[in-house]
Every structure is written in structure tokens, then in C-alpha cells.
Amino acid sequence: MTDLISRLARTPQGAAGLALVGLVLLVVVFGPLLAPYDPEAMAPLLRYKGPSLVHLLGTDQYGRDILSRLLVGARATVVMAVLATLLGTLVGALLGTASAFLGGRADEAIMRTVDAVMSIPSLLFALLIVNLLGKSGLNALLAIGIAFAPGMARVARSVALAVRKQDYVNAAIARGEGGFHIVVREMLPNVVAPIIVETTIRVAFAVMLFATLSFLGLGAQPPAPEWGLMVAEARKYLNLSPWMLIWPSIAIAIVAIGFNLLGDGLRDALNPRT
Amino acid sequence: MSPAYALKRCGLIVYTLLVVSLIVFAITQVLPADAATMLLGENATAEALAAVRERLGLEAPVWLQYARWLGGVVQGDFGTSLRTGLPVAPLMMEALGRSLLLALLSILLMLAIAVPLGVIAAVRRGRAADLIVSVLSYVGVSLPEFVTATVFVLVLADWLQILPASGYVAPTQDPLRALQHLALPVLTVSVILVAHVSRMVRSELVDVLHSDYVRAARLKGMKPRTVLLRHGLRNALLPTITIVALDVGYLLGGVIVVEEIFAIPGIGRQLIVAIQARDLPAIQAGALIMAATYSVANFAADLAYAWLDKRIQYD
């Protein structure tokens, strides 16, 4: 693990990604403690303020402190996105590995169906599922998880197929190892790496998708300090204070850039050939 | 591409649409409130509800409802909108036309920006220009469409006031104003695509420039420019076609958001309106048409790839 992190820190993307994601995780864990104000506290006399020493990032249409809302809202945005991605990864990896394991016609049928499902754009799929389940943050999480599963299934299957053909798997079979040993000790460690890379990059996408759902009014509901929702509300007051729009946009971008960089860095670090 | 393979691909498109129609029908059919309640409202009498259910054929078993719906779809009849009472199909096809114009212009703009960016980054690999392109592309892929759209509106429409903030003008009505209104949406949709494709062009071109035939061309004394364009770019652009086709999925998702923000009456906006109004026939039609667009785009990319690169033989 320490070896991996030091390899990761050696590439520029990996180092930058580690730093950004580390910062985001700190905010997720300690955000509410660091928030200088109550994120829901309204101050009618201090509305639409720009950045100042009192309110570092300014205030919104109700005079609420934007920094506090961002710090507290990190959980609503980032944790949900990570959980949604993990859900999609779990379902997809199971489906993909099962497909590769079954092989033959079953594999063909499963993958053709996965391809078919992937022809529905993720956002549209998520919209349909949220529409079915009702609008809420939790349902948006489920929707994104389900929408991600086919893509993850594709990745998991292709990796599992490639791994099964490797010499070290054949060598293990020739040594007379049991099936369980081969799957757990020989195949799994090599299947996991590409899936981790894909999952990391997908978190960035999930953050954006989650914020988009909230923006369209189908994810987190007001007055939650969810970042996409903050952008949606800020649009109505563009003329009064552009800061309300700029800060949550930057926050979303930082998280997405961080996970994108980390994913690319991990790809290099986990690839034993480089 | 052998005829047998083309036929197989067409069969796959049909299978894809069948699966999508099943999923869409299943998702919309298990909605908590059925179509009759949606038409008449929560306070309708039981008799009135029963009458409407009878008229819409909702009393039949689900598989029969699906078969009837699919039978209509095959003949181009997607049913009647619960919201407007008009047939869904003509409305959706008209909306699709507007969305395709938006998507096509976005792809053209994307290629015009992404390819030069990718080439510059590849040629100046490891130098400042490469780093700048790489940072820009990371920022580009990390901003959701609704954020870029709002920032563009803020800067170009609000502060500089050079472009209209929203609205739609038909190109047949006034081509110039139509383009002005399409400018911001097209810019917005292009951002993520530019970021993604310029990275692809860069990495493909870097690989190609290290190949033996490029070295041979250089050693032969060809001009660096000719080597880059004839030998390098030509081969680097081929895989890019497939990437662009796969990006159509993102493109369609982006189109949904962008049309909603800029009030363009395309298929994405129709879908959002339909979803908010729980207009089942419209949702089903919109989702199916989008999936069909994606499948056909990927098929077209495969055809183009095989036609451009004679080494590729699909079978």
C-alpha cells in the first residue's frame, strides 16, 4: 500500500490527484466542524454579499454563508457520488465476472444485453429511474448506481477474460491448485486493479451526474446544501451575485478533477510494465 | 466489411432497440400512479377511472399492453401524448431534428478545436504547450454541462452581451439569428467533447509518431510537415472516429441538459417535460429514439472506420 502511494506520488497526475482527493476527503470528514456558520442560518440584511473577511466566500439569496454551505454540502455531494459508484461497481463487477466465467452463449447473451442497455445515455437512464422511484437524494444514488452497472460489467468482463488466459493462471492450473485458490490468489488481484482505476474515474462522472440531477430538480431537494442545487438556485440571482454561482461550480470541478487525476495516476502506478 | 457482418450489426441494432423498449416500458409501466389517474387527477371517481382504463387498454395483461405498444411503434405510431392529446411521433421527430442540428454543429466545432489542440500537444510533448492543453482538458472533462452553460451565459450573454442567453429560432426562418441562438448551446456541448477527444488525438499521435514508418519517412528526408499530416495525423485520426461515436452517448446526455437550460425545443427538453408531467407515451418515444440514435451512430462509425482503413476487416 505504501509502495503504491509512493509510486502514485511520483507521477504528476498521481501527486496532484492524491492532494486534491485528500483535501476533498478532509472536507467531507471535518467539513461541518470547520464551517464558521450554520449553513441554514439566514441573515436578511446580509444577502448577495461578495467575499469579505466576515464571509470568506460571500452569502447567498437568504444571507446564508456560502463557505459553510459548501463545507457541509460536501457530504451530500461527494459521499453520495462515491456510494453510487461503488454500487454500480459491485453490480457491474459481479455481472461482468459471471459473464466471463459462464462463457459461450450465456456470455454472448449477457454482453449483447449490456451493450443494449448502454445505448441509453446514463443521464437519461438515471432520469427514468428517479422518475420511477420519486425524487430524492437516495433515489438519485440508486439511479446512478444502476446506470453505471453496465459500463462496469463491460470493463470487469474484458479484464477477467484477459486474466483467465494468462500464463500464470495456466501455471497455477498446471501446479494443481484448486479453483478457489486460482480465482482468489491469481485472478482477483489482477482483475481488481483496472476496476479500481475505472471506479476512481467514474466517481468524477458520478459527482457531475449527481449534481446535474439535483440541478434539474430530481436529486437533492432544497434547502439541502448540495452543490448542484446551489448552482441551480444561483442561476436565478446571476445579476445580483455571480459568486453564488462561481464557488459551488469550482467545488464540483475540484472534486471531479481530483478523481480524474487520481484515476489516471493509479492507472500508471498499477501498471507493472511502467 | 462483409455483407454478413453488416447484416449481423443490423440485427444487433434491432435487438438493442427491443431490449431498450422492454426496459423503458417496464420502468414506465410500474410507475406508482397509472396513466388513467394521471389523466383525470387524484380525485376522479372509480367509474371514470375504469372508463379511461378501458379506453387506453390498461385492463389488459401487461405483456399484451407491451405487444400492442410495440406493434404501434413498429408502424411509427408511438401513441397519443397524455399531456397534449396529440400523436407523439411527429412531435418527437420534429424535436429530434432540432437536437441533431445542435449535436452536429457541436461535433463540427469540437473537431475544429480538438484536433489542432491534440496535434500541438503531441508535437510539443512534455513542453509548456502540452501541459497547458492537458490542464485545460482536465478542467474541461470535470465541469458538468450545467456549470459551463451557466458560466458562458454569465460571461458572454450577461457581461459582454454578444450572444442571446436562451431561446430558439428555426434556421429556415432566420439563419443568422438561428446561429446566434445556437452558439452558446453548441459551445457548451463541445467543451467536454473537446477535452476528451483532444486527449485521444494526442495519445494516438504520440504513438504514431514513434512508429517505424514515420521514422522511415523522416529518414527519407520528407518535410516534417508532410510527415506529420500525411503519415502521422491520418493514422492517428482513425481511432478517433470510434471515440467520437462512443461519445455520442455523453453528447445526448449533454443535449438533454443544454436544451433545458437554453430553452431549445429539442428531444431532450421534450423528454424532461414528459418526465415531469409523467407523460408515458412521450417518455417511451423519446427514450427509444435516443437509444436508436446512439446505436445508429455507432454503426455508422464502424462502417466509416472499415471504409477508411482497408486493414480493418470485420467478420
Give the angle subtended at the CA of A144 by the CAs of A140 and A147, to the nearest 5°.
135
Question: Of the candidates A208, A234, A245, which has its C-beta nearest B144's C-beta?
Answer: A208
Q: What is the pLDDT of residue B199?
A: 86
Question: Which among B259, B69, B59 is positioned nearest to B149, based on CA atoms?
Answer: B259
- Cβ of A238 within 8 Å of Cβ of B158? The answer is yes
For residue B268, give Cα distances in angstroms to A118, B201, B257, B261, B308: 18, 29, 7, 11, 32
Q: Which residues of B touch A257 (CB under 8 A)?
A: 138-139, 142
Mark yes or no for CB contact B290/A216 under 8 Å. Answer: no
Predicted pLDDT at B31: 61
Residue of B nearest to A251 (CA): B143
Considering only alpha carbons, which residue of chain A is nearest residue B260?
A216
Cβ-based contacts of A149 with chain B (< 8 Å): none
By C-alpha distance, the chain B residue nearest A215 is B146
Nearest to A249 among B19, B147, B295 (CB): B147
What is the DSSP secondary-structure string of chain B?
--HHHHHHHHHHHHHHHHHHHHHHHHHHHT-SS-HHHHHH-TT--HHHHHHHHHHHTTTS-HHHHHHHHHHHHHTT---B-TTT-SBHHHHHHHHHHHHHHHHHHHHHHHHHHHHHHHHHHHHTTTSHHHHHHHHHHHHHHTS-HHHHHHHHIIIIIIIS--S-SS----TTT-HHHHHHHHHHHHHHHHHHHHHHHHHHHHHHHHHHHTSHHHHHHHHTT--HHHIIIIIIIHHHHHHHHHHHHHHHHHHHHHHHHHHHHHT--SHHHHHHHHHHHT-HHHHHHHHHHHHHHHHHHHHHHHHHHHHH-TT----
Percent of chain A with pLDDT over 70: 93
- For chain A, what is the radius of gyration of the CA atoms? 22
Output the CA torsion B163→B165→B166→B169 (10° steps): -20
CB contact under 8 A, A121 and B250: yes
CB neighbours of B116 closer than 8 A, spacing ≥ 6? none
Q: Which positions in chain A touch B270 (Cβ < 8 Å)? A: none
Nearest CB to B253 within list A112, A121, A231: A121
Q: What is the mean pLDDT of chain A?
A: 82
Nearest to A116 among B16, B28, B151 (CB): B16
The pLDDT of residue B90 is 87
Is A131 in contact with B144 (Cβ distance < 8 A)?
Answer: no
Specify the pLDDT at position B32: 52
Chain B contact present for A19, CB below 8 A: no
Measure the CA angle with vertex B32, ends B80 and A119; round to 5°.
65
pLDDT at site B38: 63
Q: Looking at the DSSP assignment, which residues form a beta bridge with residue B87?
A: B80
Q: Please, which residues 194-213 of chain A have a Cβ atom closer than 8 Å to chain B?
A: 204, 208-209, 211-212
- In percent, the amount of chain A with pLDDT more than 90 equals 5
A11 touches chain B (CB under 8 A): no
Interface test mutation site (partner B, options A77, A112, A123, A227, max chain B beta carbons within 10 A): A123
Entry field: residues in chain A: 274
pLDDT tens column, A7-38: 878 888 888 888 999 998 998 888 788 777 77
What are chain B's domains?
3-86 (no CATH), 89-308 (1.10.3720.10)
Cβ-based contacts of B135 with chain A (< 8 Å): none
Asked whether the beta carbons of A253 and B155 are under 8 A apart, the reply is no
pLDDT at A178 over 90: no
Which residue of A113, A121, A239 is in closest CB contact with B249? A121
Weakly modelled stretches of chain B, pLDDT under 70 = 1, 30-43, 55-59, 310-315
Task: Give how far B28 is from chain A: nearest CA, Å.
Answer: 7
Torsions phi, psi for A65 (to 5 deg): -75, 120
- Rounded to whole angstroms, how far apart are CA atoms B107 and B97? 15
Find the angle CA(B83)-CA(B89)-CA(B95) to the nearest 5 degrees: 85
CA distance to partner chain A, nearest, from residue B222 (Å): 33
B198 neighbors B134 (Cβ within 8 angstroms): no
pLDDT of residue B295: 86
Residue A217 CA from chain centroid, whole number: 20
Q: Does A253 touch chain B (CB under 8 A)?
A: yes
CB contact under 8 A, A216 and B139: no
Closest partner residue to A257 among B28, B138, B252, by Cβ? B138
Q: CA–CA separation, B285 vs B94, rounded Å?
A: 13
Number of alpha carbons in the 13 Å side-chain half-sphere of residue B95: 27
**Cβ-Cβ contacts under 8 Å, B252 against chain A:** 121, 124
Residue A274 has pLDDT above 60, yes or no: no
The C-alpha atoms of residue B218 and residue B200 are separated, in whole angstroms, by 24
For residue A117, the chain B residues in CB contact (below 8 A) are: 19-20, 23
Q: Is the pLDDT of residue A272 over 60?
A: no
Closest in A204, A231, A238 to B146, CB measured: A231
Query: What pLDDT is stored for residue A88 in this prediction?
Result: 92
Q: Measured between CB atoms, does A15 come within 8 Å of chain B?
A: no
**Euclidean distance between CA atoms A222 and B7, whole angstroms:** 51
Q: Tell me if chain B has a CB within 8 Å of the CB of A250.
A: no
CB-count burial class (<10 Å; 0-12, 13-18, 19+) for B175:
exposed
Rounded Cα gap, residues A123 and A128, in angstroms? 9
CA-based nearest residue to A61, from A274, A230, A268: A230
pTM of the model: 0.83
SS3 call for A59: strand
C-alpha–C-alpha distance, residues B161 and B184, integer Å: 12
- Cβ separation B252–A124 shorter than 8 A: yes
Which of A113, A114, A120 is the best substitution to test chain B (most B C-beta atoms within 10 A)?
A: A120
Q: Hey, what domains does chain A have and what are their CATH numbers?
A: 2-269 (1.10.3720.10)
Going through A115-157 in order, the beta strands assigned E by DSSP cover none
